[in-house]
Every structure is written in C-alpha cells, then in structure tokens.
C-alpha cells in the first residue's frame, strides 16, 4: 500500500443537505411572505433577526452533519462526524465493521478491558452510497491490514 491518503464522503448526505437546506430556506421565506402584512408589521427588528439567526443555525447544523468524512493513510484514520474530528492510529483499531444491517461503517477499537469493544461510527461512509461505500470499506480494511 502506498503512502497515499484516501478520503471518503457520502454523496447522498451532501445532496440531501443541499436539498434540505434549500427547502427549509424557501419554506421559511414563503412562510414569512404568506403572513398578512399587518402580522409582519408586528415583528420588531430584533425578532426578525432572531428568526433569521435560527434559520441560519438550522442550515449550519444540517451542513455540518453532511460534511462528515473519513480520511485514511498508512498511519491511521481520521473521522469527522459533524463538527467533531478524531484521529485513530491503526494500532488503536481492532477492525473496520460494516455489517449488512449497519447504516454506516464503524471503527471497532481495541478492547481496553471493557466487555464490548468501543465502536466509533464513520458517517462519511454510508450504506445508501451502495458500491461506493463497499469500496471505501475494502480500502480501509486493506490499509488496516497493511499497518498490522
């Protein structure tokens, strides 16, 4: 295996986020203008800014979750799930799990005396991506095997 780094993201979640934020924003704007003029006039500037801020915050959360990604190289795997990023060296990883019933791939970490080994979801590799997700898991398993 080369020293090349591999990056995996879920295309479906990015498309879903684009559609979701678009629909949410359009619905909010249409909802605002669907209000009678007299009702809209009752809102103060701070209230309108609060509504806009709430809409922007919702859109940011949706985009943050859709930006989940997995980056792997010979040294380990970096997992970004939403706003949180974690790096796991291959020595801490026992396996890459991706059962048929799993919605996304998981890292199974080495057991530190616990009954069940800890699992860390990798939202950047999702079942809805089909063969693309299967290839990503195969690549991660090859990198893990090469590092072991």
Spatial distance between the Cα atoms of 30 and 39, rounded to a whole number of angstroms: 14
5 in a structural domain: no
Same domain? 51 vs 92: no
- Report how far Cα 8 is from the mean position of its chain's Cα atoms: 11
Q: Tell me what pLDDT residue 40 has.
A: 96
Same domain? 41 vs 88: no
Band the pLDDT of 130: cuts 50, 70, 90: very high
- Could you read off the pLDDT of 79-103 as tens digits, one per residue? 999 889 999 999 999 999 999 999 9
Same domain? 46 vs 104: no
Q: Is the pLDDT assigned to residue 2 strictly greater than 60?
A: no
Spatial distance between the Cα atoms of 62 and 46, rounded to a whole number of angstroms: 24
Which domain covers residue 39, as residue numbers? 11-66
Backbone angles phi, psi at 87, to 5 degrees: -110, 130
Same domain? 92 vs 128: yes
| Cβ within 8 Å of residue 132, ≥6 positions away | 11
Same domain? 19 vs 44: yes
Q: What percentage of the chain carries pLDDT values higher than 90?
A: 80
| Greatest Cα pair distance in the chain | 69
Total residue length of the chain: 148
Count up the domains in the chain and report the number: 2
């Amino acid at each position: 295996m080369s020293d090349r780094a591999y990056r995996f993201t879920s295309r479906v979640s990015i498309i879903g986020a684009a559609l979701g934020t678009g629909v949410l924003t359009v619905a909010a704007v249409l909802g605002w203008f669907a209000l009678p003029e007299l009702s809209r006039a009752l809102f103060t500037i701070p209230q309108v800014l609060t509504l806009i801020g709430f809409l922007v915050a919702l859109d940011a959360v949706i985009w943050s979750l859709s930006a989940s990604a997995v980056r792997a190289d010979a040294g380990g795997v970096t997992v970004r799930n939403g706003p949180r990023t974690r790096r796991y060296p291959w020595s801490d990883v026992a396996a890459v799990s991706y059962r048929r019933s799993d919605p996304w791939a998981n890292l199974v970490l080495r057991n530190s005396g616990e009954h069940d080994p800890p699992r860390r979801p990798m939202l950047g590799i999702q079942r809805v991506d089909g063969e693309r997700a299967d290839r990503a898991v195969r690549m991660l398993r090859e990198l893990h095997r090469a590092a072991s």
